[in-house]
Every structure is written in C-alpha cells, then in structure tokens.
Amino acid sequence: MSEYARMKFYCDDERCIECNGCSVACAEAHELPVGINRRKVVTLNEGIFGKETSISIACMHCTDAPCEQVCPVDCFYIREDGIVLHDKDTCIGCGYCLYACPFGAPQFPKDGAFGTRGVMDKCTMCAGGPEETNSEKERELYGQNRIAEGKVPMCAAMCSTKALIVGDEQEVSKIYRERVASRGKGVQSAPYGWSTAYKN
Amino acid sequence: MKKLIIYLLGASFVGAGELIGGKVPLATPDSGASRGENPLASSQMLQNILQYKDGYGEQFLHFQTEWFKPLFMYIGIGVLVVFLLHYLIIGPKRFSHERRQFYIFSLFMRVIHWIAAIGFVLIVPTGFMMVFGDALGGGTLVRNARYLHSIGTVLFAISLVPMFLAWFIPMLPTLDDIKWLFIAGGYLSKKKREIPAGKFNAGQKMWFWLAMLGGLVMIATGALMYFQTVDVNQLLQYIGITAEKDQIEYLRLSAIVHNFLGMVIAALFITHLYMSIFAIKGALDSMISGKKSEDELKHLHSSYYRKLIKKENKSSL
C-alpha cells in the first residue's frame, strides 16, 4: 500500500437531505457550464414515506479506475493519493469513460458552433488538472485547485448535514464506523458504492 | 392590471393554504427521463452501481481493454498482408477493354455509389484513428477524426436507402453464389475462366448485405453514442416495444456492437477497395463510366453476360 493518504468520498444516505447544495456549490466554485453537474443528488423511492433516501454521487476516484483503462487516447492519470484526473487537451470526447464508469460520472458539455459534444468533464476532487497548479488555464479547464491550497473539496466543505465527507480513507472509515455504531443499524462492511469503486 | 395582481395574490394564497392545510403536493415517482431530462441522470444510477458487474459495463471494460485494439490491429494488418501476397503470387486479372462495352451502371447508381464511397473513405480510416488514438497522441487530430467519422456517416446514410432499393433484387442470393464460394471466385488461380455469377458475384453480395444491414446497425449504434442522451426507451415505445434497460446499458451495448461489427465491415471494405483498384485492372472505370468490357463481363459475370446476349438476340429478331 501507498504511504500517502488515499482520498475517498463517502455520502451518508441517512444524513443526506437532498438539498442539492453540494451540486450547486461545485458548479458555482468551478464555473461549470449550464447542464453540467459534476456532482448529482439522486433520490430513491421519492415521495414514499419512510423509504425515501437520497445520495450524492460524483466521480469516486476508483482504484484501477475503469475510465482510465478504456480511454482510447490514454488521457487519464491517477495521482499518488488516488485522485483520478484527466487531460482535456488530449481527450477526444468519445464517451468510452462514461460507458465504463459505474457511477455515471463523466459528462460532455456541448462545444462549438454545431453543438457537437466536447471533451469530457468530471469531478476532480477539487484537484485541478495536469496544467500548472493554480494557473489561469487550469482554472479555466478544470476549475479550482483547492487540494493544492490545503482546502477540503467544495461539496464536502459546504455539506450542511455533513453527509458528504471526503478525505483519507482511514479517517473516512473511522467516521463511518462511529456513525454506524451510534445509529445501531445499517451495518455494512463498507459505505455505499465502495465495493465497486475500491477493490482492494 | 389591478385585477391581475389581485388574481395572482389570490392564487398564491390558495397555494399557501393548501400547504398549510397539510395537503403537501407529493412529488411524482422519480424518473428523470419521463420529465424530458437527461436519461443518464436518474435514480436508476444508484441501481446501476450495484448491477455494474451483471450488466454490459464490465463486459465493455473487458472488451475495450483486452479485445478491440488487438483485433483491429490483426484484422487491419492481416487483410493487407493477405492481399499483398495475393497480388505478388497470383497477381491481378487483366481483361481486354477493346471489344464491346456494356452499359451496366446508370448515372444515378454511380452517384449513389460514390456518395457512399466518400462516406466510407471518411469513416473507416477515422475509425482506425480513434481505436489507435493513443499512438497518435489524442488531442485535436483524433478529435477531428471523430468529427469526420460522423460527417462520413451522414453521407453513407444518405446513400443507404436508394442503394438498397436499387440493388436489392440483383443482390438476392442465387445458385451461382454457392459455386462461386466453392472456387473462391476464381481468385486463387491465375487461369482466366468463366466464373459463375450474375450481375453481382457472391463476394459483392456479401459486401452489399453487410454494408446495408450492418451499416444500418452501425448508424443506429453510432448515432446513439453521438447523441448520447436521446432516450432509447422512449424511442422503443414509439415503435411499440417496452424495454426497461437503462440508457447507459444501451450505450455500452452500442459500443460493443459498433466495435465488433466495425471490424468486419472495415475488413470487407478494404477487400472491396483491393478488388476494384488492384485485383481486377480497370474495374474502377466501370463505376466511373458505367460501362464494363465484354471480356470482363464474360469471365467474371458469366450468367449475367449470357442473359444480356440472349436479351439482345431476342430484341434483334
């Protein structure tokens, strides 16, 4: 195992109130084009009393990320802390990463005069891209680089119920265990989606 | 104006009253798709995470990482090597173009054929460019190849229906085709002899049916991948099919089918090019002038030649 931190997202469906704050904060912070939501809040059993649950999903920054494996132009790279990023100058917008992604994270903004599909855009865990850190070009293409400034990614930073948590897997797991223990129910070996994203 | 304001105020009060009275309007059961939104962003996304391994996702991942690229490479190189060897060992067929010329292809058919041809010349190389995009470094070059791939598709799609209708009957299989297949069209021997074939031989027929039916599938799967968010379940409903797969599953299946079928079509396209440009000298001219020489017709399309002569004799009597 790497001696570096392994960054992971965790969304607590017991706490998520479907306020969509994470999605809005993300879009606002990174100045995303209209129609692009790097983070989406999905609700299950909507309107059914006692059964309604919401969960916020975005790129999970998988180990052995399938998107990285299928990309025909190899535009992805995985940082030492596990954050999966891609190079928009290399990307051709073919959509294969979307097909390979279990979480539906990659999205394709309309680009150009004829509304052709542009290059892929996805959650960067607020870690920018391959351009020079905090440069104008990086901000333009990938949004803020909050990780480089030592800040928490925007979505988790503003989550009002602290349903959405991001950080080193050890820390996230600890919080998850404490919450499950205090609730006394919903015991799972791993948080939702983790078994798909992180096959350790 | 006053009336309007009063009316609006009243309406908002009524709305508020309903809420206060406990009549909370329940949200309709979620499905992003039915609201005309992006069908990729629905509550189905969560189920998809758990069903990833059972669906096409895992299969696409497997095929794209292990199969597609090597298969395209083997097919591309394999076909070229086979034809190079064929050209060197058996060599091209030459026919006299001095005797009579028969007018075979009407102007309309030639125009249709060349529209499809330009389409294919755009589609096939750009397809290969995308498959081997990492070797080309990606970026603008491969991105433009992707755009050209779609433009070529439009040209091919225009030619598809007229070509199918015009050549449908002569392309139907006949007994000649079985004989043709047994001798591999006579391409394995240097001897010049009469090959059993009608207006089109079995090889041309295979190419026709693959390009037409396979082409239709390629257009459908390609268009879905191009438009991405066009709701397939809704489209299927229009033609009376109720399907429940999620949009992403259709996209994954499309990518798998498009790649496998693409290999076969690319292989036969290269074959078609080789036959018309190199293997049979002067074959290309018949698609430009519309005329085939008597010598070529007599040998390569013997049944058709006999039919033409018979018809001629009848009319001259």
The lowest-confidence range among B20-29, B43-52, B107-116 is B20-29
B36 touches chain A (CB under 8 A): no
Residue B275 and residue B267: Cα distance in Å, rounded?
Answer: 12
CA-CA-CA-CA torsion sign (A123, A109, B247, B215): negative
- pLDDT of residue A3 exceeding 90: no
pTM for the full model? 0.89
| Cβ-Cβ contacts under 8 Å, B56 against chain A | 99
Question: Is there a domain that residue A113 lies in?
Answer: yes
Pairing status of strand A53-57 against strand A76-78: unpaired
Average pLDDT over residues B9-30: 46
Q: A169: which residues sit within 8 A by CB, 6+ positions away? A: A5, A6, A7, A8, A198
Nearest to A99 among B42, B134, B255 (CB): B255
The helix or strand, by DSSP H or E, that contains position A9, with its residue range, turns out to be strand A7-11
Distance of CA B41 to the CA centre of its chain: 29
Q: What are B31-87's pLDDT values in tens digits?
A: 444 445 678 888 888 888 888 888 899 999 999 999 999 999 999 999 999 999 999
Question: Is there a domain that residue A2 lies in?
Answer: no
Asked if residue A22 lies in contact with residue A166, where contact means CB atoms within 8 angstroms, the answer is no
Question: Is there a domain that residue A137 lies in?
Answer: yes
Pairing status of strand A110-111 against strand A116-117: antiparallel
User: What pLDDT score was predicted for residue B18?
Assistant: 45
B42: nearest CA partner in chain A: A42
User: What pLDDT score was predicted for residue B5?
Assistant: 53
Nearest to A73 among B57, B65, B142 (CB): B142
Question: Is there a domain that residue A26 lies in?
Answer: yes
Residue B260 pLDDT class (50, 70, 90 cuts): very high
Give the domains, in start order, of chain B with CATH numbers. 55-188+197-316 (1.20.950.20)
The whole-angstrom distance between B83's CA and the closest CA on chain A is 28
Q: Which of A12, A6, A7, A5 is nearest to A175 (CA)?
A: A12
- pLDDT of residue B19 exceeding 60: no
CA-CA-CA-CA torsion sign (B205, B128, B281, B185): negative
Question: Is there a domain that residue A124 lies in?
Answer: yes
Contact B131 A72 (CB under 8 A): yes
User: What pLDDT score was predicted for residue A100?
Assistant: 96
Q: Which of B92, B153, B78, B82 is nearest to B119 (CA)?
A: B153
Residue A110 and residue A128: Cα distance in Å, rounded?
Answer: 21
Residue B88: both structure tokens together: 């060197």
Model ipTM value? 0.92
B 132-171: CB under 8 A from A: 132-134, 136-139, 142-143, 145-147, 150
Q: What is the CATH number of the domain that holds A178?
A: 3.30.70.20
- Number of inter-chain CB pairs under 8 A, A vs B: 119
Whole-number mean pLDDT of chain A? 91
Residue B208: both structure tokens together: 């026709």
Average pLDDT over residues B196-217: 95
Residue B54 CB: number of other CB atoms within 10 A?
9
Nearest to B138 among A73, A99, A103 (CB): A73
Residue B78 and residue B84: Cα distance in Å, rounded?
Answer: 10
Question: Is there a domain that residue A1 lies in?
Answer: no
User: What pLDDT score was predicted for residue A2?
Assistant: 52
B126 touches chain A (CB under 8 A): no
Question: What residue numbers bound the domain in which A171 lies?
Answer: 7-197
Question: Is there a domain that residue A135 lies in?
Answer: yes
Residue B307 and residue A25: Cα distance in Å, rounded?
Answer: 76
Residue B158 and residue B163: Cα distance in Å, rounded?
Answer: 9
| Cβ-Cβ contacts under 8 Å, A104 against chain B | 40-41, 45, 48, 248
Q: What is the largest CA-CA distance in chain A?
A: 55
| Cβ-Cβ contacts under 8 Å, A96 against chain B | 60, 64, 255
Asked if residue A17 lies in contact with residue A34, where contact means CB atoms within 8 angstroms, the answer is no
What total of structural domains would you count in chain A?
1
Residue A149 and residue A133: Cα distance in Å, rounded?
Answer: 10
Q: What are A81-109's pLDDT values in tens digits?
A: 999 999 999 999 999 999 999 999 999 98
A13: nearest CA partner in chain B: B46
Average pLDDT over residues A170-180: 92
